[in-house]
Each structure stands twice: as structure tokens, then as C-alpha cells.
């Protein structure tokens, strides 16, 4: 039967599981195990991504699964070129730490996944995208997050590699002009995850206090309530 159904809250255990997935999700760059990801598990992750919200229900995503060592080697070379350039963009005091950070697991992860956005999906006029043409990109990012949280629940590590030149990904993966690569992900089983974000643990940056980021009724307007939020109390 179609139509609205009661919007009952989840049980306490279900809610805790959702929040646990959110709070313990990590960007994995190392510690991938060589064990393959079973096809049925990968299908579940892709189905979770495919159930993401999308403006105008346009579902602009596609999923390119990469297992080929030859393709991974090309992608790794593209990353290394871009990463060498990126290191030079940081001030000298940060460059040394940057150079020590492992920022990808392209060849170690058994599965690489490129999630793309088809910017022609849904035709020239899409409900909800009439004024903001980038809503298709934002929708695709929702698919990335869905997959990432589902992977955490399954015990699968995910790392987002963003240090590429767009044209390199397009060339290696033969993307048509109207398709934009949104996320290049490394997926694999892992034995352990960092208890806090790895970049925080290694001294790159701390998590910002939530209360510093909340305004009321307009930019930079505070409500006057400086009490600690539940999210900051843990």
C-alpha cells in the first residue's frame, strides 16, 4: 500500500546504533585488510547509497567499481602527482607534517569506487534544481554519506581520496563530458579504526566546538545560550 505511514521513532537500541555509526565513522587511509568484499555486502552498500535523498528525485549518481590493479596503479600515479603539488601549497611549518600523512589507500584497498554525478540526469529542467544548478552535486554527496554510514555499520573502512586533477580521473575512467566525478573512495575490511579523526590525532586540526558554529535567525547572531550541548558533553 502506498501513501504516508506513521513516522514512529526508532527503538532506543536502533537510535543508538544510528548515532554510533555517525560518531565512529572514520576516513580510512591505511590498515586495509586484503580480504575481498563479498558481492552481497558491496550490493548492500550501493543500495544504501542509492536510497539517498536527491532533488527532484533525479538520482544523478553512478557507481564505478574498480578492482583492476592496472587501473588502481594509474589512479595512484595521478594522486602522487597532485599530492606533490598540494604539499607545496602549505606554509613551510605545515609542509613537513603534511608530507608524513598517509592520505590514500588506493592500491591497498580491495575495492575502489568512483561515485559520479550525471549532470544531464532528469533532463534540462529538474524540480528543485531550477534556481540552483548544483543541487545534483549536493544530492550525490548525500549518496556518498549514505554509503559511508552503511559501511561503518558493516565494519567496512572507507577513505575519500580528493587529491586529483579532474582531467586525470576523467581520462583514466573514460568519463563523458556531462559526468562529474564527485568522490573517489577506497573500501575494505579493517581490523581497527581511530578512536578520533586521524587528522586530529596526528595534530593537523581539532574538531571545532559545535556552539561556535550555531547562529539564530541570521549570520553571526547568537541566542545567548552558552550552555554545553549534549554533543559536546561526551
In order along its 234 residues, the chain shows pLDDT tens digits of 688 989 999 999 999 999 999 999 999 999 999 999 999 999 999 999 999 999 999 999 999 999 999 999 999 999 999 999 999 999 999 999 999 999 999 999 999 999 999 999 999 999 999 999 999 999 999 999 999 999 999 999 999 999 999 999 999 999 999 999 999 999 999 999 999 999 999 999 999 999 999 999 999 998 765 545 444 434
CA distances from 135 to 81, 93, 141, 169, 220 (A): 31, 38, 10, 22, 25
Q: Give the DSSP letter of residue 120.
A: T
Tell the residue number behind the cell numbers 592500491, with chain if given. Answer: 107
Residue 186: what are its φ and ψ, rounded to 5°?
A: -110, 130
C-alpha to C-alpha distance for 3 and 88, rounded to whole angstroms: 55
Give this prediction's pTM. Answer: 0.92
- Orientation angle between helical segments 92-100 and 69-87, nearest 10 degrees: 160
- Contact indicator for 61, 49 with CB cutoff of 8 Å: yes
Tell the residue number behind the cell numbers 586484503, with chain if given. Answer: 34
Q: Which of 18, 45, 52 is nearest to 111 (CA)?
A: 45
- Contact indicator for 200, 110 with CB cutoff of 8 Å: no
Domains of the chain, start order: 46-204 (3.40.109.10)
Amino acid at each position: 500500500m502506498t501513501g504516508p505511514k506513521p513516522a514512529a521513532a526508532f527503538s532506543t537500541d536502533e537510535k543508538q546504533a544510528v548515532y554510533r555509526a555517525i560518531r565512529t565513522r572514520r576516513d580510512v587511509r591505511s590498515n586495509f585488510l586484503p580480504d575481498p568484499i563479498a558481492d552481497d555486502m558491496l550490493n548492500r552498500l550501493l543500495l544504501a547509497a542509492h536510497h539517498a535523498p536527491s532533488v527532484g528525485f533525479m538520482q544523478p549518481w553512478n557507481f564505478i567499481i574498480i578492482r583492476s590493479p592496472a587501473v588502481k596503479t594509474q589512479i595512484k600515479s595521478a594522486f602522487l602527482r597532485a599530492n606533490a603539488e598540494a604539499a607545496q601549497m602549505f606554509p613551510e611549518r605545515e609542509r613537513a607534517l603534511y608530507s608524513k600523512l598517509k592520505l590514500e589507500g588506493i592500491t591497498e584497498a580491495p575495492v575502489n569506487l568512483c561515485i559520479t554525478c550525471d549532470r544531464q540526469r532528469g533532463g534540462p529542467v529538474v524540480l528543485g534544481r531550477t534556481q540552483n544548478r548544483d543541487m545534483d552535486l549536493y544530492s550525490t554527496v548525500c549518496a556518498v554519506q549514505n554509503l559511508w554510514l552503511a559501511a561503518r555499520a558493516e565494519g567496512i573502512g572507507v577513505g575519500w581520496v580528493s587529491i586529483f586533477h579532474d582531467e586525470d580521473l576523467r581520462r583514466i575512467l573514460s568519463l563523458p563530458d556531462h559526468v562529474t566525478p564527485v568522490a573517489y573512495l577506497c573500501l575494505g575490511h579493517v581490523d581497527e579504526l581511530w578512536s578520533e579523526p586521524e587528522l586530529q590525532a596526528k595534530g593537523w586540526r581539532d574538531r571545532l566546538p559545535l556552539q561556535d558554529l550555531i547562529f539564530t535567525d541570521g549570520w553571526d547572531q547568537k541566542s545567548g545560550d552558552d550552555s554545553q550541548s549534549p554533543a559536546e558533553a561526551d
